[in-house]
Structures are given as C-alpha cells and as structure tokens.
Structure 1
Amino acid sequence: MTEIQQNKPLISQLLDTWIQGEASETYALANYANAAAIIFQNVSAVNWAGFYLYHAETNTLALGPFLGKPATALIAPDKGVVGQSFTSQQTIVVPDVYAFPGHIVCDVDSNSEITIPITTASGQKLGVLDIDSTERNRFGKQEQADLENFVQALLQYVKLV
C-alpha cells in the first residue's frame, strides 16, 4: 500500500480498489452506482445514499444512482439541502432536517443529512453526493472529512458524465 493510500480514509480506499478491480475507470454512471453502494454498505446508520447530477441545459439536479427509498427526481439549484450545497459549493451538515428551512422530505424516517458538492478542479459542477440518516446529529467533522475525501477520490472516475 502506498503512503498516499495509507492516508486515505478506508471508504476512499474501498472505492479505488473496487473501481480499479472492475477496470471501470471510464464508466462514470457505473462508478456513481458503486460509490453509492459503498457508502450505503460501509457508513453506519445511513438510510439513503446517492447522487444528484447536474444538467446544465435544464439547470437541474437530476436523481442519479442511489440506494434507499424513492426520492425526488429533480431539484432546482438553491432548493433544499442538495440545491443549496450545489449553489454554495459547500458541504452542508444538517443535524436535524426538520429544523432546516426548505428541506425536501423524501423519507420521513430521515433525521439528519450531509451533502457534498462534486466539482472538478477546473470548476465544472457535476452534482452533489447526498446521504441521509435516521439518527439526529449523525454526521460529525470526521465523517465530513472522510466523505469529502471520498468525493475527491470519486472525481477521477466520473468526469465523463
């Protein structure tokens, strides 16, 4: 294992190993799907994990690969936690979704949420990683750092969407 790999969170290492093992580096949609599954299976107390992918021609975030209950198919930038994260280009951690103004309810069992924008180094906005939990206050600083690292690892495999 390289020194770089040793410094990566385990979840990012799982992503790299899985994608490279499948030789799917150029299959962006498949990699988004496996990334959602890796999160869903390896991050505790998660009831929804998936992606909203940006479509510039319609200025819309469209539901992408996910695991969990059915979700809102289209979100406008600035709407809900996902849209606000996309527009601000900031990770948003919501300890209690019912206290977040404008929260879009998809699963009434969700109580907390984290969203991480997916943006290339050149500034191309690709979408948002969205993760929900039934636990309040589920996502702390370490999960935020690990998931932001995960998105950076994922970026090398999804630029083609």
Structure 2
Amino acid sequence: MTTKAEQYEDVRKQIASVIAGETSRTARLATASCLLREMFGERFFWTGFYEVDPNQPDMLVVGPYQGTMGCLRIPFGKGVCGAAAATGETQLVEDVHAFPGHIACDSRSNSEIVVPVLDAAGKLAAVLDIDSTEFGAFNVEDQAGLEAICGDLLTIA
C-alpha cells in the first residue's frame, strides 16, 4: 500500500510529464485538477483553481476544476480562497463552517485546503482549492504535497 506522500510524489511526476512543454496556463491547470481528482477520488470533492482576474487584480475568477458548480468570483480577503490570495499562504481548514467569512459554494463541503500558485516571476497567478465533504480531511502531509505540485505548475518548462 502506498503512503499519501508517495501518492503526491507520483501525481506530481504525472502532472510534470503531461505539462512539459505546454505553454497554455489553462491546459496546465486543467491537467493538474484532473490528475489530482483521479488520484484522490471522492476525498477531493471539489478540486480546481481560481485565477487572478487580469482586469481586476484583487479578484479571483473560477478556472479549470473538477466537481460541482463553483463560485464564479471571490474577492481577495473573502473566504478561504480569498484569504490564501491576500496572504500568499496556504490555508488548511479542518472545519470551513468555523472559518470567518467562509463562502459556501457547495454546502456539502466541510474542510478545505487552498494553496497559492505563483507564476515564473513569483507573482500570484491562481489558487488551488480543494474541498472535502469530510471534516479534517487535510493535514500537513497534504499541504506539503500540494505546495510542491503548485510550485511546479507555472514554473517548469
């Protein structure tokens, strides 16, 4: 049986292999959301990206994702995704209902992890948002694996 760390390393390699040479940010993010959902299944109830809107740099807009309908726009500083965008730090939330200002895009979500995605210049381009119907579904092992993947997404050639 493989460990969670091994699963993250495996999916990281898969994503890197598929996106190598791909210049489309949409294709890169779509690939990552698909492969993460495939690897972790239903534990990753909603898996996708909110991208920084180039016309409104303090606003996130839904990007490629796997799952139920997502919120279309999230302002920086609002909810878990907005907090990650505003602080530039991963948000690991065991119970989203206790998170101040949580945005309930789908009421079945109970825990969430949101990881900033930086472009090659080190500027925030998006956040990876993963929701689970389970409380406390994510831990520091998930954080480390997802941060490594997000570190590669827009920086590897």
TM range (shorter): 0.7 to 0.9
| Structure 2: stretches of 5+ with no match in the other structure | 1-5
Count residues in correspondence: 149
Cα distance in 1, alignment partners of residues 112 and 52 from structure 2: 19
Could you give the per-residue CA deviations for residues 79-130 of structure 1, whole angstroms, max 9, x where no partner exists?
1100110110000000011111111001111110000011235331101000
Alignment TM-score, normalising by the size of structure 1: 0.86
Asked if 2 retains the 8 angstrom alpha-carbon contact of 1:53 and 1:62, the reply is yes
Could you give the per-residue CA deviations for residues 22-41 of structure 1, whole angstroms, max 9, x where no partner exists?
x5x11211111111101111
Q: CA RMSD in A?
A: 1.8
**How far 1:78 moved relative to its partner?**
0.4
Structure 1 residues 91 and 97 mapped into 2: Cα distance closer, same or farther (>3 Å)? Answer: same
**How far 1:49 moved relative to its partner?**
0.4
Counterpart in the other structure of 2:48: 50
Asked if 1 retains the 8 angstrom alpha-carbon contact of 2:25 and 2:154, the reply is no
Moved over 4 A (4+): none
**How far 1:56 moved relative to its partner?**
3.7
Counterpart in the other structure of 2:19: 19
**How far 1:131 moved relative to its partner?**
0.3
Counterpart in the other structure of 1:29: 26
Counterpart in the other structure of 2:88: 89
The alignment-based identity, stated in percent, is: 36
**How far 1:157 moved relative to its partner?**
5.5
Query: Aligned runs of 1:1-161 on 2, under 5 Å?
Result: 9-20=9-20, 25-44=22-41, 45-59=43-57, 60-120=59-119, 122-156=121-155
| Structure 1: stretches of 5+ with no match in the other structure | 1-5
- The letter for the 2-side match of 1:16 is A
Alignment TM-score, normalising by the size of structure 2: 0.88
